[in-house]
C-alpha cells in the first residue's frame, strides 16, 4: 500500500510541476504582451505631441521651411517665437520616444523615431533649441552623433 501511495504522490508532484511550468510560460507571455502594450501607449503619447507640432505647422504653413527646408530663423524673424515653440514640442516628443525605446526595446517593430531625430537635427531652428536646452532632452541628444558638441556648447555657456 505504501508503494502505491508513493507512486500516486510522485505522479501528483510531476503533474504539479508540469502545471507550474505551463503557468510560468503563460505568465511570461502575458508580461511580454503587457510590456509591449505599455510601449505602444507611451509611444502613442509621443505621437500625440509630434502630431500637435505638425498641426501647428499646418495651421501656420510659413513655419514649414524651418523644419523641412533647413531655413534659418534669425532673431528678427516674426515667425521665430512660434518656430521655437514648435521645435521644442518636436524635441520633447522625440526625446520621450527615445526614452521609451530604451526602456522597452522592441527589435521586431521599429518606430522610426531615430529617423525623425536625424531629420530634425539638420534644421537650424531645431539645433538651436537643442543647444539652448541640451539638459532637457538627454535621450534625444544621446541618439544624435553631434550630441557631444551640443552638450559642450551648453555646458560652456555662462549661467
Instruction: Judge whether residue 152 has pLDDT over 70.
Output: no
Q: Is the dihedral of CA 137, 142, 145, 146 positive or negative?
A: positive
Q: How far apart are CA 150 and CA 128, in angstroms?
A: 9
The string of pLDDT tens digits covering residues 107-135 is 766 678 888 999 999 999 999 999 998 88
C-alpha cell at 29: 507571455
pTM for the predicted model, two decimal places: 0.74
The kind and range of the H/E element at 115 are helix 113-120
Q: How far apart are CA 157 and CA 71, in angstroms?
A: 25
C-alpha cell at 63: 513655419
The string of pLDDT tens digits covering residues 132-147 is 988 899 999 998 876 5
- Residues 101 and 111: beta-carbon distance below 8 Å: yes
Amino acid at each position: 500500500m505504501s508503494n502505491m501511495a508513493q507512486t500516486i504522490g510522485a505522479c501528483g508532484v510531476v503533474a504539479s510541476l508540469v502545471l507550474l511550468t505551463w503557468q510560468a510560460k503563460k505568465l511570461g507571455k502575458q508580461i511580454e504582451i503587457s510590456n509591449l502594450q505599455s510601449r505602444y501607449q507611451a509611444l502613442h503619447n509621443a505621437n500625440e505631441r509630434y502630431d500637435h507640432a505638425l498641426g501647428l505647422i499646418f495651421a501656420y504653413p510659413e513655419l514649414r521651411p524651418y523644419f523641412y527646408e533647413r531655413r534659418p530663423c534669425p532673431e528678427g524673424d516674426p515667425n521665430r517665437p512660434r518656430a521655437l515653440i514648435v521645435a521644442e514640442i518636436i524635441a520633447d516628443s522625440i526625446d520621450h520616444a527615445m526614452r521609451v525605446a530604451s526602456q522597452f526595446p522592441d527589435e521586431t517593430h521599429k518606430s522610426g523615431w531615430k529617423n525623425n531625430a536625424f531629420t530634425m537635427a539638420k534644421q537650424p531652428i531645431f539645433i538651436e533649441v537643442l543647444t539652448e536646452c541640451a539638459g532637457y532632452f538627454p535621450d534625444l541628444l544621446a541618439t544624435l552623433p553631434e550630441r557631444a558638441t551640443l552638450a559642450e556648447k551648453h555646458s560652456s555657456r555662462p549661467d
